[in-house]
Amino acid sequence: MNIQHLNSAAVPFEKVTAKTFPKGPESLASGHRACQGCGEVLALRLLLKALGRDFMAVSATGCMEVCTTPYPQSAWEMPWLHVAFENAAAVAAGVDAGNIIRRRKGKLPDRRIPVVAIGGDGATFDIGIQALSGAMERYHENFIYICLDNEAYMNTGIQRSSATPFGASTTTSPAGKFSKGQNTWKKNMPAIAAAHNIPYVATASPAFHLDLMTKMRRAAAIPGPAYIHVYSPCPTGWRMKPELSVDSSRLAVKSRVFPLYEIIDGQYIINKKVDKPIPVADYLKPQGRFKHLTEEDIAQISERVNHEYEHLVKLSEVFDGPLF
Amino acid sequence: MSVTDSTKPVGIEVSLAMAEAVKLAKAEVIAAYPITPQTHIVEHLSDLVANGELDAEYVPVESEQSAMSACIGSSAAGARTYTATSSQGLMLMAEMVFIAPMLRLPIVMAVANRAVSGPINIWNDHSDIMIIRDCGWIQIFAENGQEATDMSIISFKIAEDPRVMMPLILNIDGFTLSHFIEPIVFPEEDKIKQYLPPYETSHKLDITKPMSLGALGPPEVYSEARKAMDDALLASKAGVIRGFEEFAEIFGRKYNLVESYRAEDAETIIVAMGSISETAMVAVDEMRAAGEKVGLVRIRLWRPFPVEEFLAAVEGAKYLAVVDRHFTPGFPEGPVATEVRALMYNNDNRPKIANFVLGLGGRDVPRNHFKHIVEQVKELGTAGSQSRYEMVGVQQ
């Protein structure tokens, strides 16, 4: 019943522009304990601001949970629930089921309430991928999953995850005499989400905040599960100056390291075409986690980055209509 | 016409009867994953939802870990929430099981008790529930089909009591109870409306009254949070009694925290939990007929442990033969015996106690096992030094 011609691209929603930037109150208050320059909490605040005061949130264990809710304090101005590390998607699925039956019985107003599950890359790529896969496959109507990807287990002290990029030095993929750091290529999580045939998948970056907030609005408007993959610089874990978070987010897009795109009903749409990329080295150099890399290593990474980008462009050009 | 409309006893498999009772209780969200021997309960619930007999959201999750996670989510959203599991499933969800009472969410879960692997075994004992004994849930053991059916309704009443607000596990023995067909009298639907009104609470995720649930507990508050949970669990005993008494007033079937059978003047008392007590009662009758002063005390409420009621039930006995359906490797006694002995230790007139491990992994427990343990407890208890369980019938 959800298979044929969803036409999710036509679902109306209000874009966020400089003129229509929401002036309403924050849903994630200031005063939380995130590190200076945290790109993750910046992205999260903007995403939630796009929804205003009309959602429920479920956090996986991780930096964003720890830094916002050391009892008796809470930075959350909206209903918020944390249970454990690997299960934010399943908890959010349960919240949605509870809201749906209560709405059907007239115990809640007759409208959709977005339920936003939030996890880091470890909670999403690794330990929570089963719960996330289940929730996407079961097609919970008001389910939005946000992956705040800072490319390692930062909360426990910068251990590698399957989101850690090739060549990055972490505390469990350290660079050394016999190691270049992370020796595998980053898992393609948006493609995995898209393979569940959900109506909306997007990548977003805090350096392109209007695009990021607009994608959150679209995710909430489209009925069915949505997955938003958010580039989230971690100056602490990336061994980078805190003031470079937004810069590095911009460089990641401009170097094709982190392309911005949407997958609507299976159709890839590139939001920021990067025809003349800056050198990948410009992105890598300010980050201490890559400082051990040689010119040859960087050339290898650069080749892979460009190859993946071109593959993405081909996907968007060859399949120029929705899959379902 | 539904099976639950009948005013006469209906022959029905206990799992299905429990699902029908959950329908009568108007559960709103059921999130579950298949595992033997629990599966018939949730299969039947999904049937009832599919046929429109129960207006609920059935969430067919991809694991037990997600089952309990989704239950926590839906209960936090304010919906009446039910699940069921067994054995490996309970262990897979254990992490979430321990979190639910800290969030004070009145989830009801049936556990069709089954042995844990390995070796893999799908049959009945109590090793699954004993592994999560300290999870903080209210824990009840049902003996027969009627009790399992009634308790499936009473459980919501107790858990959702505003003075309780704690999750509840209803234990039923896998196969020996879950898969038996028994004559069941279903509680009348109109009376259930009086006994169990729709679930309403202010303790929920609510956009108009935002609340943060599941905050980090640093060292300055962790002890207090855990103590508060234990206080709530201990206080729930009054809620259990209220739930049982009100049920008796409306439906006429009276349940107690601890049940005694011919134990008043007994010299030897068998202490047991769950469906094995049905066999034990027959054995007690036969031993009584042969002149043995023996009785049975069955613990229905396992957590919070009904200390006063239990001590009163075994008062005057010379010997306690404590039955465990689980053992703790590396320790001389199983969990029930250890607890019973600990409770008696400061009593001046404490009885001699011996521990017997019966029916592991579905091993049949015939009446003569109870006769054996009644003989043995006198010998082992009198020796004074005995402090190791006997695994009855084990082939060495």
**pLDDT score, position B189:** 95
| B289 secondary structure, DSSP code | H
Q: How many residues does the structure list for chain B?
A: 396
Is B396 a member of any domain? no
Could you tell me if residue B304 is inside a domain?
A: yes
Check whether B112 has a pLDDT greater than 70: yes
Residues B300 and B164 in one domain: no
Same structural domain, B56 and B124: yes
* Superfamily for domain range A8-318: Thiamin diphosphate (ThDP)-binding fold, Pyr/PP domains (3.40.50.970)
Other CB atoms within 10 A of residue B222 CB: 12
ipTM of this complex prediction, to 2 decimal places: 0.97
Cis check: omega of the bond before B219, within 30 degrees of 0: no
CB distance B29–A93 less than 8 Å? Answer: no
Q: Considering only CB atoms, which chain A residues are within 8 Å of B103?
A: 83
Tokens standing for residue B275: 């469906």
The CA-based angle B93-B95-B98, given to 5 degrees, is 105
Closest-CA distance, A22 to chain B, in angstroms, reads: 19
**Distance in Å, alpha carbon of B299 to nearest chain A alpha carbon:** 32
Cα distance between residue B13 and residue B60, in whole Å: 23
Give tens-digit pLDDT for B33-42.
999 999 999 9
Same-domain pairing of B39 and B136 = yes
Percent of chain B with pLDDT over 70: 98
Under 8 Å between Cβ of B275 and B259: no
Instruction: Kindly state the tokens that stand for A167.
Output: 């060549």
Indicate if B81 and B205 belong to the same structural domain: yes
Question: Does residue B309 belong to any structural domain of this protein?
Answer: yes
Residues 32-61 of B with CB under 8 A from A: 55-57, 59-61
* Residue B104 counted as domain residue: yes
Which chain A residues touch B62 with a CB distance below 8 Å?
130-131, 133-134, 137
What strands lie across the sheet with B258-261, from one edge to the other?
B258-261, B294-299, B268-272, B319-324, B352-357, B390-391
Question: How far is Cα A120 from Cα A199, in angstroms, rounded to an integer?
Answer: 22
Structural domain boundaries in chain A:
8-318
In a shared domain, residues B196 and B322: no
Q: Is the peptide bond before B304 cis (omega within 30 degrees of 0)?
A: yes
Q: Above 50 in pLDDT, residue B192?
A: yes
CA distances from B109 to A148, B17, B113 (A): 33, 15, 12
Subunit contact B65:A86, Cβ cutoff 8 A: yes
What was the pLDDT predicted at B267? Answer: 97
User: How high is the pLDDT of residue B386?
Assistant: 58
State which amino acid sits at residue B229. M
Q: Is the pLDDT of residue B127 over 60?
A: yes
Residue A1 has pLDDT above 50, yes or no: no
pLDDT in tens, B288-311: 999 999 999 999 999 999 999 999
What count of CB pairs under 8 Å joins A to B? 168
When pLDDT is averaged across residues B150-178 and rounded to a whole number, the result is 98
* Distance of alpha carbon A108 from alpha carbon B286, whole angstroms: 59
pLDDT, chain A, mean: 97
Q: Is residue B201 included in any domain, yes or no? A: yes
pLDDT number for residue B293 = 98
Mean pLDDT, range A115-140, rounded to an integer: 98
Alpha-carbon distance values, A67 to A28, A63, A70, B291, B396 (Å): 11, 6, 7, 69, 57
Residue B381 has pLDDT above 80, yes or no: no
Phi, psi values for residue B175, rounded to 5°: 65, -60
What's the pLDDT score for residue B308? 97
- Confidence band, pLDDT 50/70/90 cuts, at residue A61: very high
pLDDT, residue B383, reads 63
**Cα dihedral: A116, A119, A120, A122 (round 10):** -150
- CATH number where B275 lies: 3.40.50.920
Over residues A5-32, mean pLDDT: 95
Q: What is the pLDDT of residue B380?
A: 79
Is B64's Cβ below 8 Å from some Cβ in A?
no
Task: Write down the pLDDT at residue A4.
Answer: 64
**Residue B388 pLDDT class (50, 70, 90 cuts):** confident
Q: What is the pLDDT of residues B131-163, one digit of tens each?
A: 999 999 999 999 999 999 999 999 999 999 999
- pLDDT at residue B385 tops 60: no
Distance CA A238, CA A164 (A): 11
Question: Does residue B243 share a domain with residue B265?
Answer: no
Give the mutation candidate from B45, B59, B66, B93 for the A interface (greatest A CB count, under 10 A): B66
| DSSP codes, A242-277 | GGGHHHHHHHHHHTTSS--EEEETTEEEESS--SSP
- Split at pLDDT 50, 70, 90, the class of B396 is confident
Mean pLDDT of B33-60: 98
Query: Which residues, 6+ apart, have CB-to-CB distance to A296 below 8 Å?
Result: none
Report the residue from B76, B207, B225 with minimal CB separation from A81: B76
A66/B218 CB distance under 8 A: no
**Per-residue pLDDT at A149:** 98
CB count, 10 Å around CB of B318? 16
Q: What is the mean pLDDT of residues B113-132?
A: 98
Q: Is residue B345 part of a domain?
A: yes
Q: Which helix (H) or strand (E) holds B183?
A: strand B181-184
Q: Which of B253, B109, B110, B258 is nearest to B184 (CA)?
A: B253
Helix (H) or strand (E) run with residue B170 in it: strand B168-173
Give Dmax (Cα) for chain B.
Answer: 69
User: For B309-356, what is each residue's pLDDT tens digit?
Assistant: 999 999 999 999 999 999 999 999 999 999 999 999 998 889 999 999
On whether both B239 and B268 belong to a single domain, the answer is no
pLDDT over 70 at A3, yes or no:
no
Its domain, for residue B267, covers 258-391
CA distance A44 to A209: 11
As for how many domains chain B has, the answer is: 2
What is the reported pLDDT for B382?
67
pLDDT tens digits for range B246-268: 999 999 999 999 999 999 999 99
Token representation of residue B241: 């009694």
Mean pLDDT across B107-121: 98
Tokens of A126: 């690794």
Looking at the structure, tell me whether residues B23 and B58 fall in a common domain: yes
pLDDT tens-place string over residues A264-282: 999 999 999 999 999 999 9
**The domain boundary residue, chosen from B216, B251, B286:** B251
Domain endpoint, select from B223, B251, B279? B251
Q: How many CB atoms lie within 10 A of CB B200?
A: 11
